[in-house]
Chains A and B, each alone.
Chain A
Amino acid sequence: AQSVTQLDSHVSVSEGTPVLLRCNYSSSYSPSLFWYVQHPNKGLQLLLKYTSAATLVKGINGFEAEFKKSETSFHLTKPSAHMSDAAEYFCVVSDKAKNFVFGPGTRLSVLP
Chain B
Amino acid sequence: KAGVTQTPRYLIKTRGQQVTLSCSPISGHRSVSWYQQTPGQGLQFLFEYFSETQRNKGNFPGRFSGRQFSNSRSEMNVSTLELGDSALYLCASSDRQGAADTQYFGPGTRLTVL
Contacts and interface: CB of A to CB of B under 8 A. Distances in A.
B106 A100 contact: no
Contacts of A46: 102, 104
Contacts of B43: 90, 102, 105
Contacts of B92: 44, 100
Given A44-B90, A46-B102, A52-B99, A100 B33 contact: yes
A34 B42 contact: no
A43 B89 CA distance: 10
Interface residues of B, number: 25
Interface of B is mostly: strand
Interface residues of A, number: 24
Nearest to A97: B56
A95 to B, nearest CB: 9
A5 interface: no
Contacts of A102: 35, 42-44
Nearest to A50: B100
A58 interface: no
A51 interface: yes
Contacts of A32: 99-101
Contact of B105 (A41, A44, A50): A44
A99 B45 contact: yes
B51 interface: no
A98 B42 contact: no
Given A41-B110, A42-B107, 18 more contacts: A32-B99, A34-B100, A43-B106, A43-B107, A45-B105, A46-B104, A51-B100, A52-B99, A99-B33, A99-B56, A100-B35, A100-B45, A100-B92, A100-B103, A102-B35, A102-B43, A103-B42, A105-B43
Interface of B: 4, 33, 35, 42-45, 48, 55-56, 90, 92, 96, 98-108, 110
